[in-house]
Structure 1
Amino acid sequence: MATHENAIVALVAQSALSASKPHFTAPRMAEPIDTRTRAEARAPKTTGTAVSASAAANGAERRALPVWHYLAAAGLGALNTLSFAPTPHGGWLAIAIFALFYFWLTCTTGWKSALFTGWAFGFGNFVSGVWWLYVSMHFYGGMPAVLAGAALVLFSLYLGMYPALAALVWSFCAGHAKNGRSGDLPFSPTWHGAFAFASAWALGEWARGYVFTGFPWLSSGYAQVGGPLAGFAPVVGVYGVGWVLALVAALIVQACLRARDLKRRRGAQASAAVATPALIAVAVIAAGLLLSLVSWTQPSGTPLTVRLLQGNIKQEMKFSESGMIDALAEFQKLITEKPADLVVTPETAVPVLVQEIPEKFGRDIRAFADGTGTAILFGAVGGTITPDGRVIDYTNSLFGITPGQNGLYRYDKHHLVPFGEFVPWGFRWFVNLMNIPLGDFARGAPVQPPFLVHNQPVAVDICYEDIFGEEIARTVRENPVSPGVLINSTNLAWFGDTIALDQHLQIARMRSLETGRPMLRATNTGATAAIDARGRVIARLPTFTAGSLDVKVEGTSGFTPYVTSGNNTVIAVSLLSLAFGFAFGPAFKGRTERRQASTK
Structure 2
Amino acid sequence: MRTSKGFNLQINNSGYSYLVSFFAGLSLVFAYAPFSLWPIALLALLVWFTQLDQRSPKQAFYQGLAFGFGWFGAGISWVHVSIEQFGGMPLFVSVLLMILLCGYLALYPALAAWLSAKLSINKTVNLYFLPFVWLLSEYLRAHMLTGFPWLALGYSQIDGPFAALAPFIGEVGIGFVLLYFAVAAFKRIKRKQIRLTRIILLSSIVAITLTHNVSNIEETGENINVALVQGNIKQELRWDEAQEQNIINSYIDDSKGLYQSHDLVIWPEAAIPRIEPLAQEYLQQLDEQAFEQNSALITGIINYDPDSRSFFNRLVMLGKKQDGDKLGDYYYRNSNHYDKHHLLPIGEFVPFASLLRPLAPFFNLPMSSFSRGDYVQKNLLANNLNIAPLICFEIVFPKQLAANMNQQTDLLLTVSNDAWFGDSHGPHQHLEIARMRALEFGRPMLRSTNNGITAVINHNGEIIADIPQFTKTTLSTQVPLVSGATFYSQYALHLDKLLFLIFLISLIWHKFSFKKSNKYS
Q: Do they fold alike, i.e. is TM over 0.5? A: yes
| Distance verdict in 2 for CA 1:117–1:71, change over 3 Å | same
| Contact residue 413 and residue 446 of structure 2 kept, 8 A | yes
State the match for 2:453 in structure 1. Answer: 527
State the match for 1:371 in structure 2. Answer: 292
**1:45-67 Cα shifts (integer Å, max 9, x gaps):** xxxxxxxxxxxxxxxxxx98521
State the match for 2:369 in structure 1. Answer: 440
State the match for 1:139 in structure 2. Answer: 85
Q: What is the SS of the residue equivalent to 1:553? A: strand
Shift of 1:586: 7.1
Return the letter of the residue paired with 1:454: N
Q: What is the SS of the residue equivalent to 2:268? A: coil
Q: What is the SS of the residue equivalent to 1:337? A: coil
Give the superposed CA RMSD: 2.6
Q: What is the SS of the residue equivalent to 1:530? A: strand
Return the letter of the residue paired with 1:293: N
State the match for 2:205 in structure 1. Answer: 285
State the match for 2:342 in structure 1. Answer: 415
Task: Choose which of 59, 62, 70 in structure 2 pairs with 1:124.
Answer: 70
Shift of 1:221: 0.2
Return the letter of the residue paired with 2:318: I
Task: Choose which of 69, 73, 90 in structure 1 pairs with 2:21.
Answer: 73
CA distance in 2 between counterparts of 1:354 and 1:27 reads 70
Q: What is the SS of the residue equivalent to 2:413? A: strand
| Contact residue 180 and residue 200 of structure 2 kept, 8 A | no
TM-score, normalised by the number of residues in structure 1: 0.79
Q: Percent identity?
A: 31
Q: What is the SS of the residue equivalent to 1:457? A: strand
| Larger RCO: 1 or 2 (CA < 8 Å, sep 6+) | 1
Return the letter of the residue paired with 1:99: L
Shift of 1:430: 5.6
CA distance in 2 between counterparts of 1:154 and 1:430 reads 19
Shift of 1:232: 1.2
| Distance verdict in 2 for CA 1:289–1:143, change over 3 Å | farther
> Which stretch of the first structure deviates more once superposed, 463-472 or 166-175?
166-175
**1:128-187 Cα shifts (integer Å, max 9, x gaps):** 11111111111011122222111111111111111011111111334631xxxx7xxxx5
Task: Choose which of 129, 149, 155 in structure 2 pairs with 1:222.
Answer: 155
Task: Choose which of 271, 274, 297 in structure 2 pairs with 1:349.
Answer: 271
Shift of 1:350: 0.5
Shift of 1:336: 1.6
Q: What is the SS of the residue equivalent to 2:190? A: helix
Which sections of structure 2, spanning at least 5 residues, go unmatched?
A: 321-326
| Contact residue 271 and residue 299 of structure 2 kept, 8 A | yes
Work out whether 1:585 is the aligned partner of 2:510: yes
CA distance in 2 between counterparts of 1:286 and 1:103 reads 27
Shift of 1:591: 9.5
Work out whether 1:571 is the aligned partner of 2:497: yes
Task: Choose which of 253, 272, 278 in structure 2 pairs with 1:333.
Answer: 253
Task: Choose which of 200, 214, 217 in structure 1 pairs with 2:133.
Answer: 200
Task: Choose which of 51, 66, 73 in structure 2 pairs with 1:104.
Answer: 51
| Distance verdict in 2 for CA 1:174–1:281, change over 3 Å | farther
Give 1:438-587 correspondences, 5 Å limit: 438-477=367-406, 482-581=408-507, 583-585=508-510
| Contact residue 444 and residue 459 of structure 2 kept, 8 A | yes
**1:212-241 Cα shifts (integer Å, max 9, x gaps):** 211110000000102110111111111111
| Distance verdict in 2 for CA 1:211–1:564, change over 3 Å | same
| Contact residue 215 and residue 486 of structure 2 kept, 8 A | no
Shift of 1:278: 4.0
Shift of 1:107: 5.2
Give the ranges of 4+ consecutive aligned residues of structure 1 lying more than 4 Å apart after TM superposition.
25-30
CA distance in 1 between counterparts of 2:463 and 2:110 reads 34
Return the letter of the residue paired with 2:459: A
Size of the alignment, in residue pairs?
A: 503
**1:56-89 Cα shifts (integer Å, max 9, x gaps):** xxxxxxx98521111111111010111111123x
Return the letter of the residue paired with 1:417: L
Shift of 1:543: 0.6
> Which stretch of the first structure deviates more once superposed, 446-455 or 343-352?
446-455
CA distance in 2 between counterparts of 1:221 and 1:253 reads 19
> Which stretch of the first structure deviates more once superposed, 154-163 or 552-561?
552-561
Task: Choose which of 228, 231, 235 in structure 2 pairs with 1:315.
Answer: 235
State the match for 1:87 in structure 2. Answer: 35
Work out whether 1:274 is the aligned partner of 2:221: no
Work out whether 1:395 is the aligned partner of 2:317: no
> Which stretch of the first structure deviates more once superposed, 94-103 or 135-144?
94-103
Shift of 1:427: 7.3
**1:93-134 Cα shifts (integer Å, max 9, x gaps):** 2122222222321152x1111111011101110011111111
**1:572-599 Cα shifts (integer Å, max 9, x gaps):** 2234325523x34379637974x889xx
Q: What is the SS of the residue equivalent to 2:514? A: helix
| Distance verdict in 2 for CA 1:493–1:428, change over 3 Å | farther
**1:387-442 Cα shifts (integer Å, max 9, x gaps):** xxxx8111000111133323243111011111111122367416751151123212
Which sections of structure 1, spanning at least 5 residues, go unmatched?
A: 1-24, 31-62, 188-192, 260-272
Return the letter of the residue paired with 1:536: E
TM-score, normalised by the number of residues in structure 2: 0.90
| Distance verdict in 2 for CA 1:508–1:297, change over 3 Å | same
Task: Choose which of 203, 221, 235 in structure 1 pairs with 2:168.
Answer: 235
Shift of 1:246: 0.2
> Which stretch of the first structure deviates more once superposed, 440-449 or 221-230?
440-449
| Contact residue 31 and residue 156 of structure 2 kept, 8 A | yes
| Contact residue 203 and residue 571 of structure 1 kept, 8 A | no
CA distance in 2 between counterparts of 1:295 and 1:330 reads 42
Shift of 1:491: 0.4
CA distance in 1 between counterparts of 2:517 and 2:211 reads 42
**1:355-390 Cα shifts (integer Å, max 9, x gaps):** 11273x33542342132111000111111235xxxx
Task: Choose which of 311, 328, 336 in structure 2 pairs with 1:405.
Answer: 328
| Contact residue 219 and residue 482 of structure 2 kept, 8 A | yes
CA distance in 2 between counterparts of 1:234 and 1:513 reads 6
CA distance in 1 between counterparts of 2:358 and 2:455 reads 32
| Distance verdict in 2 for CA 1:357–1:27, change over 3 Å | farther
Return the letter of the residue paired with 1:333: D
CA distance in 1 between counterparts of 2:423 and 2:3 reads 44
State the match for 1:46 in structure 2. Answer: none
Shift of 1:349: 0.5
Return the letter of the residue paired with 2:413: I
CA distance in 2 between counterparts of 1:171 and 1:233 reads 30
CA distance in 2 between counterparts of 1:278 and 1:215 reads 35
CA distance in 1 between counterparts of 2:167 and 2:128 reads 21
Return the letter of the residue paired with 1:128: A
CA distance in 2 between counterparts of 1:226 and 1:428 reads 44
State the match for 2:215 in structure 1. Answer: 295
Return the letter of the residue paired with 2:514: K
> Which stretch of the first structure deviates more once superposed, 294-303 or 415-424?
294-303
| Distance verdict in 2 for CA 1:458–1:351, change over 3 Å | same
| Contact residue 297 and residue 319 of structure 2 kept, 8 A | yes
